[in-house]
Structure 1
């Protein structure tokens, strides 16, 4: 008997929550979203329909001063993607599903010109969300499950940006030589950025107050079709990492006519969160880039304080690879295989779907029925382990 609060377990499982499109929007082939929706019923239940939707929404908003101390909120929202799957269609009579587990597979090729998932607080947001819905009988609440899918864009492999180190070196005011180097320009979430700073003072009277290092994210949003949203851009920046060394360069002695070299290796940890650290983006609506900035505060012989400033641009990508994908990642580009998705579901849930519940949806013509059946329970653990 149906209850107001159902005991059904309803979940969305996707092959990959973080999808990557390779190349610029005009050249990218896009990517493929694959997954399964799993319904577990503890008792016989009446259902109107079961469906799944994928919605992509872009939102641009900010507050604009209109004079006399008044502000006006400008907001623009549009759909960038809408797709529907129907697993159990509506009909005159309610569907009656017995207790057990039911699995529905889905797949969608996403176009390469979609905007990347982005979150700039109070200014610009692009979000993609899956929503699975079980529509129940009259007066009973529907059962829903949601999952966010993150879409990133990646430079094509072997692009020069992947291979070039980053370095800045010069002489400052005939008082010191400096060199700041990074092993690469490309980094991704969870990386550690090693930065080597070398300073050679050309005057024994030069003293260092401190050396500071700041990692910043810069965002410029241009979007809209009318009014201020179309004529004025909005900029937003945030500090992702900052440190200050008050002991750097404390030793400065002349030994046989050779001045010392001040050296420091600064590690910058990058967040694993896709919200706390955005990938670099360049499209018609928004530009996001990253820089590492240094400030060396110096005390001259006359007591005057000077500052040497330097900035190095880096690129945050979805993946930091220059060659072919690793063997364990190659399966993500293979054609969709329901058995693989069942293995994925087995890893994420201790309760397997009923074999009989999935067999009818994969039956081929009579001559090939046994060949095309899903794997048995004895076969699934082997699929997972391999």
Structure 2
């Protein structure tokens, strides 16, 4: 929400829009710090004023906070004390968006760890050039007089409601149109504390951008031990007796796997032996498991004695995490997540071996499961393993359980799975994160529900393809031998290329480059769900689903007032009268008369034969 009174007439719209390329308020990073160069953060601060507004500056801050809450343990394993930290991992400041769109990294660059949130502002207070000595003579004089600690008084500057660049009307003249501007309003002005900028009535879209380091920590929300949260806070400072306007927005930095990561192609197998009873093998086709998708689990058992039978199979994700702050590292915590008993319907039992296949649904909520991560300086580390329990019934009737642990990598994919998270709001005035008490309102981070359902007729292929990366978006082009719509030319045939093209089913191809109809996409109609089409979203859903990159929801342009419309109407009427008079003069018969007063005669002269 916007933190200013809704009845204010001078400011009608104030918001922060982050450019995330289709992922609302989520910056997706594809790869670790060694696979990406930098992380660009860009967007716009949009303002709509109904009256001329005097603004001192528009300050924007990006803050990444580290929250730690856990109990320390003594040497005997008992709880020793509560650790509660609020640290700063990243801070970027845009001093004034009215004059510059470039931000400054105050803290969080390469090599920086964490600092207390209350002390991070000290890093941005650097001595001014006016207060520093410029030569050795001044250094010696200051040292001898003993006034090295005194600051030089800044020079006087005239306070004005207009920017200082308006004093020179020859080269530095820069006027803002009455309808607003899309860009930095005063890019040529350096400004100072005594300056006040005038924003005429209109709509403004002020850009901002910064390149964060590649090792910036990603967002972590589901852990009880530690969290990494990001926010953007914009403050519009006005005069001494005018109230300031505030706006804040919570956003996420999500790190997914690189398209060429080996975890997307490597399979995981676990082989073990129950001495004298059986040999078993548990495998998954991918080491990387995308949240919200279905993972195939394959179990192969070779019984060594008679009387054994398979009963059931269950899968659980075991999560290990620890954090490190200013007080030191935390203990190692373990959590069991998403225990499921698999429905092993596709099974094959023979005398010499058993093949059992099941499907495991990876949890989709970030409040329940946290993706695998290893933040810089061991800030937060999360690892996972897949614990598979195999229940075997013996000949005497009792049930034995076999365990198999598969190390996996849990990640979020924008192309697969349905991922949600708890909605967080930010108090723009105090900068605190506020959790939404309504559990039904969640942020949908990625919505790809179609990857959960296997294709009919090809269950095995569907299971293998569910966790693959998007071929069109991330992977390299396919080989020519793996064509789909192209007709392969047989160079061993005696027929010409056109004859082969016609014999393949295209009789209407008259040219070499004609597109064969047989190779075009089939026009099968997609079934339409009337229930989905008839569902009308609520106002809040429509606002939440609005794309942050779409400019269609911009405020409407401001039109002239009544008096300005009258002047404009009179001007248009006079111009139309002049145009009609000129047209009448052009079409008058006198225009086609000769200067001597006789009419022009057009005669056709025939050349003599």
TM-score, normalised via structure 2 length:
0.47
What CA deviation, in whole Å up to 9, does each residue of 1:77-96 have, x standing for no partner?
Answer: 33222222212367647544
- Once residues 295 and 302 of structure 2 are traced to their aligned partners in structure 1, the CA distance between those partners, rounded to angstroms, is 23
What CA deviation, in whole Å up to 9, does each residue of 1:112-133 have, x standing for no partner?
Answer: 2322222354421222211122
2:286 counterpart SS class: coil
Gap change, CA 1:315 and 1:233, over 3 Å in 2: same
Q: Identify the residue that residue 267 of structure 2 maps to in structure 1.
A: 165
**1:208 to partner: Cα distance:** 4.2
1:118 counterpart SS class: coil
Of residues 83, 87, 91 in structure 1, which corresponds to 2:97? 87
- Once residues 344 and 412 of structure 2 are traced to their aligned partners in structure 1, the CA distance between those partners, rounded to angstroms, is 34
Does structure 2 retain, via aligned residues, the 8 Å contact 1:52–1:84?
A: yes
Of residues 257, 270, 293 in structure 1, which corresponds to 2:387? 293
Of residues 317, 321, 339 in structure 2, which corresponds to 1:215? 317
Of residues 32, 37, 47 in structure 2, which corresponds to 1:29? 37
Gap change, CA 1:219 and 1:210, over 3 Å in 2: same
Q: Identify the residue that residue 244 of structure 1 maps to in structure 2.
A: 341
Gap change, CA 1:236 and 1:208, over 3 Å in 2: same
- Once residues 248 and 318 of structure 1 are traced to their aligned partners in structure 2, the CA distance between those partners, rounded to angstroms, is 27
Of residues 238, 246, 251 in structure 2, which corresponds to 1:149? 251
Q: Does 1:315 align with 2:409?
A: yes
Of residues 534, 543, 551 in structure 2, which corresponds to 1:346? 551
- Once residues 354 and 215 of structure 1 are traced to their aligned partners in structure 2, the CA distance between those partners, rounded to angstroms, is 56
1:87 counterpart SS class: coil
Does structure 2 retain, via aligned residues, the 8 Å contact 1:214–1:242?
A: yes
- Once residues 557 and 15 of structure 2 are traced to their aligned partners in structure 1, the CA distance between those partners, rounded to angstroms, is 12
Q: Identify the residue that residue 8 of structure 1 maps to in structure 2.
A: 12
- Once residues 143 and 167 of structure 1 are traced to their aligned partners in structure 2, the CA distance between those partners, rounded to angstroms, is 58
Alignment of 1:272-291 (within 5 A): 273-283=365-375, 284-291=378-385
Of residues 356, 360, 369 in structure 2, which corresponds to 1:263? 356
Q: Identify the residue that residue 49 of structure 2 maps to in structure 1.
A: 41
What CA deviation, in whole Å up to 9, does each residue of 1:168-193 have, x standing for no partner?
Answer: 23432332332322111123344332
- Structure 1 segments unaligned to the other structure (5+ residues): 328-341, 356-386
Q: Which has the higher contact order (CA 8 A, sep 6+)?
A: 1
Gap change, CA 1:190 and 1:142, over 3 Å in 2: farther
1:119 counterpart SS class: coil
- Once residues 22 and 200 of structure 1 are traced to their aligned partners in structure 2, the CA distance between those partners, rounded to angstroms, is 41
- Once residues 305 and 265 of structure 1 are traced to their aligned partners in structure 2, the CA distance between those partners, rounded to angstroms, is 20
**1:164 to partner: Cα distance:** 0.9
Does structure 2 retain, via aligned residues, the 8 Å contact 1:22–1:29?
A: no
**1:137 to partner: Cα distance:** 4.5
What CA deviation, in whole Å up to 9, does each residue of 1:187-236 have, x standing for no partner?
Answer: 33443322223344444422445321112322122333xxxx42x53223
Of residues 182, 185, 209 in structure 1, which corresponds to 2:287? 185
Does structure 2 retain, via aligned residues, the 8 Å contact 1:157–1:323?
A: no
Q: Identify the residue that residue 86 of structure 2 maps to in structure 1.
A: 77
- Once residues 266 and 4 of structure 1 are traced to their aligned partners in structure 2, the CA distance between those partners, rounded to angstroms, is 53
Q: Identify the residue that residue 225 of structure 2 maps to in structure 1.
A: 123
**1:134 to partner: Cα distance:** 2.1
Q: Identify the residue that residue 195 of structure 1 maps to in structure 2.
A: 297
- Once residues 35 and 97 of structure 1 are traced to their aligned partners in structure 2, the CA distance between those partners, rounded to angstroms, is 20
Gap change, CA 1:189 and 1:105, over 3 Å in 2: farther
Does structure 2 retain, via aligned residues, the 8 Å contact 1:188–1:270?
A: no
Gap change, CA 1:138 and 1:295, over 3 Å in 2: same
How many correspondences in the alignment?
Answer: 327
Moved more, 197-206 or 164-173: 197-206
- Once residues 173 and 156 of structure 1 are traced to their aligned partners in structure 2, the CA distance between those partners, rounded to angstroms, is 41
- Once residues 141 and 239 of structure 1 are traced to their aligned partners in structure 2, the CA distance between those partners, rounded to angstroms, is 50
More strand by share: 1
TM-score, normalised via structure 1 length:
0.70
Structure label with greater radius of gyration: 2
Moved more, 90-99 or 76-85: 90-99
Gap change, CA 1:248 and 1:78, over 3 Å in 2: closer
